[in-house]
Amino acid sequence: MPHISLKGQSMPESPIRKLVPYAEKAIKQGKTIYHLNIGQPDIKTPEIALDAVSSHSLNIIAYTRSEGSEKYRTKIAKYYSKHHIDVNYEDIIVTTGGSEALLFAFGSVMDTDDEVIIPEPFYANYNGFSTASGVKIVPVNSKIEDNFALPPIEEFEKLITDKTKAILICNPGNPTGYLYSKEEINKLAEIVKKHDLFLIADEVYREFAYDGVEHYSILQEDGLIDNAIIIDSVSKRYSMCGARIGCLVTKNKEVIKTALKFAQARLSPPTLAQIASEAALDTPQSYFDEVKEEYVRRNTLIEGLQQIEGVKVGVPKGAFYCIVELPVKNTDKFAQWLLESFDVNGETIMVAPAAGFYSTPGIGLNQIRIAYVLNESSLKTAITILKEALKVYKD
């Protein structure tokens, strides 16, 4: 029998999606599941984006340019200017989701066995992207006790080798909800300039910054023209996860030139989704103001979790996730048990075990990630279910 590749064998499972079969079985048994496991907002997609697709006048759904339509990229550049980021359409490549933008970035700046330093916990698919690219993740651990703040720069410097090509951050963070300050970005900028590295920032949650604090982009930082690469997406910003439209943004012309070759190899991003995404850029500010008000539900979640004995939670400052430490030994087993063997009046919850958001073995085994994308009433019910589950669960 032919053999599966070593790369294929080493590709990690999604910590979010691997529990789906258990959830499907629970639903067939008549249980109601509150999904705290995945960042699919319950916010409605802007009507302007939906209308653009339903009223398009295309007779043929044809290829677009590999880098995305110039009209769309010009509008993206105008969007960035509103956020004090000075780029033009030539600095942007439209991708099939932020995921493809990350793959293009990895492929453009790193070779097989090169290293990228990432503060952990981090978006679980970074593990998969690095494996697919033949790149090694070198983690620097951030701690729940510090609310997942940027680890000391000395910790980064100790990890830099001749194989190190980049530092990658998610800001605001998935899965922690941590929002890096301007001062922390300054420190990262200094270290990448000192060691001639790239600084890649996954900024897909830019609009989701709370408590009156504004997001600060790496492309607002002086002197990073050659070093900075932004990863972006419409998925969360406009509640358009299924559109699969993202972009790679950088002022570094060599990176753009190289990433374009990867874009050409996959031909073009989706045509109809670009139409929707271009229209979404005209979404009024009132939409985002209302979304921020909706995510005050964060307070409901954090306050509820803090009242559960033995539970520790990081307080998110952005995005719509938090890491929760539970009084259990293994949250993979706990999450499966919740779906297979537990309910309160026919209702249970689905959570994401957090070990998959780390690359260091053995860390995060007693943690989960919660996505607070449910309405406030559902969140309160979910908290009650978690509280009751912890009373009876035995490792």
DSSP track, 184-217: HHHHHHHHHHHHT-EEEEE-TTTT-B-TTPPP--
CA distance 340 to 348: 10
- The helix, strand and coil proportions of the chain, stated in percent and rounded to the nearest 5, come to 40, 15, 40
Q: Is the pLDDT of residue 293 over 90?
A: no
Average pLDDT, the chain: 96
Q: Across-strand partners of 201?
A: 169, 230
CA distance 80 to 234: 13
Of 52, 31, 60, 108, the C-alpha closest to 283 is: 52
The values of phi and psi at residue 232, to 5°, are -140, 170
- Domain 47-283 fold is Aspartate Aminotransferase; domain 2 (3.40.640)
pLDDT recorded at residue 13: 83
CATH number of 6-44+290-392: 3.90.1150.10
Q: Is the pLDDT of residue 117 over 80?
A: yes
Domain with CATH 3.40.640.10 in the chain: 47-283
Give the pair of three-digit tokens for residue 132: 């697919």
CB 224 within 8 A of CB 189: yes
Alpha helices in 242-325 (DSSP H): 253-265, 271-280, 285-294, 297-306
DSSP state of 90: G
CA distance 383 to 372: 11
**371: phi > 0 → left, psi -120 to 50 → alpha, else beta; which?**
beta
The values of phi and psi at residue 117, to 5°, are -90, 130
pLDDT recorded at residue 14: 83
Domain with CATH 3.90.1150.10 in the chain: 6-44+290-392
pLDDT digits (tens, 9 = 90+) for 159-213: 999 999 999 999 999 999 999 999 999 999 999 999 999 999 999 999 999 998 9
pLDDT recorded at residue 346: 97
As to burial, measured by CB atoms within 10 angstroms (0-12 exposed, 13-18 middle, 19+ buried), residue 63 is: exposed
